Each structure stands twice: as structure tokens, then as C-alpha cells.
């Protein structure tokens, strides 16, 4: 193994430790405030899970490249801990809360839009602006929900394998 390969693995290992700690912070805070998460916070949480999961896969494939047996053991232990954390805290606890909250948000937005269109036969410019803004919010919520659904589908595939 070349010096560049060792350097790359060392950098990836350092990045993994940093990003997995960030993930724990994000998930912990998100569990406390799951009802009040913004769409960007939701996307950020999923991005962080995907990021750490990718780092885990890379490191597992390259563990034999780490010559120091003690460092290898510590890294493997941390990988197992973060995989368990993702499974228990994110996949089982936070992910279903986020899915539920997004579904409720879509329903509420649709109801508001229906009320706005049926209760206001003549619309002012302001009404039209508000309606356009509500459609945009609904589009953003639905887009985020689709992103979360894609994670859900991947999660289901991982459970089957």
C-alpha cells in the first residue's frame, strides 16, 4: 500500500470520527425537536446519515489498509457503534417521526389551499400571491417527503439483504 493510500485512509478515518459525532448531535437535537424541524434541517439530517454510511462502507472495505492493530480495533468498534446508533436512533425513532410530520404537513397545506380556493371566489393580487406562496411551500414539503421516501425505500432494501 502506498503512502498516498495510507494518507487517504487516515484522512477518511479522521473525517469519519468527525462526521459521526456531528451525526449524533444532529439526531439527538432532532429527536428533541422533531415537530419543529425545518425542511432544511430534515434534509441535513438525512444527508448526514448518508454521508456517514458512505464513510463506513469505504472504511470497511479498506480496514486491512490500517497497519496498526489497535487503531484498526478502535475504528471497527466506532463503526459498529455508529451503525447501531443509526439503526436504533435514526431509522427506528427519528425517521418515522419525520415521515409522519411530513405527511401531516402535506395534508394541512392541501386543506389550506382548498379552503382558500373555495372560500374566496374573487381574489385580490394579495390573495393570489398568498396562494402562490402556499403552492410553493406545498411543493417544497412534497419534494422533501419524496426525498425521505427514497431513503425509506433504501432502508427497506437494506433490511431485506
- Residue closest to 131 by CA, chosen among 120, 143, 142: 120
Q: What is the pTM of this model?
A: 0.85
Would you mind telling me the total number of residues written for the chain in this entry?
A: 161
Tens digit of pLDDT for each residue in 95-121? 999 999 999 999 999 999 888 878 766
Question: Which tens digit of pLDDT belongs to each residue from 30-54?
Answer: 999 999 999 999 999 999 999 999 9
**Domain containing 115: what range?**
3-160
Domain count, the chain: 1
The region, left, alpha or beta by phi > 0 then psi within -120 to 50, assigned to residue 89 is: alpha
Q: Is the pLDDT of residue 27 over 90?
A: yes
Q: How far apart are CA 98 and CA 90, in angstroms?
A: 10
Query: Residue 160's pLDDT is what?
Result: 44
Amino acid at each position: 500500500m502506498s503512502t498516498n493510500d495510507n494518507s487517504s485512509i487516515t484522512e477518511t478515518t479522521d473525517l469519519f470520527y468527525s462526521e459521526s459525532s456531528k451525526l449524533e448531535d444532529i439526531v439527538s437535537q432532532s429527536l428533541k425537536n422533531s415537530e419543529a424541524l425545518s425542511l432544511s434541517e430534515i434534509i441535513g439530517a438525512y444527508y448526514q446519515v448518508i454521508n456517514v454510511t458512505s464513510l463506513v462502507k469505504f472504511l470497511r472495505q479498506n480496514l486491512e489498509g490500517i497497519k496498526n492493530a489497535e487503531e484498526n480495533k478502535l475504528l471497527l468498534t466506532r463503526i459498529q457503534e455508529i451503525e447501531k446508533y443509526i439503526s436504533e436512533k435514526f431509522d427506528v425513532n427519528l425517521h418515522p417521526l419525520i415521515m409522519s410530520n411530513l405527511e401531516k404537513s402535506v395534508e394541512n397545506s392541501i386543506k389550506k389551499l382548498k379552503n382558500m380556493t373555495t372560500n374566496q371566489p374573487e381574489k385580490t393580487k394579495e390573495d393570489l400571491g398568498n396562494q402562490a406562496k402556499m403552492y410553493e411551500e406545498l411543493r417544497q414539503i412534497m419534494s422533501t417527503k419524496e426525498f425521505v421516501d427514497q431513503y425509506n425505500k433504501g432502508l427497506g432494501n437494506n433490511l431485506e439483504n
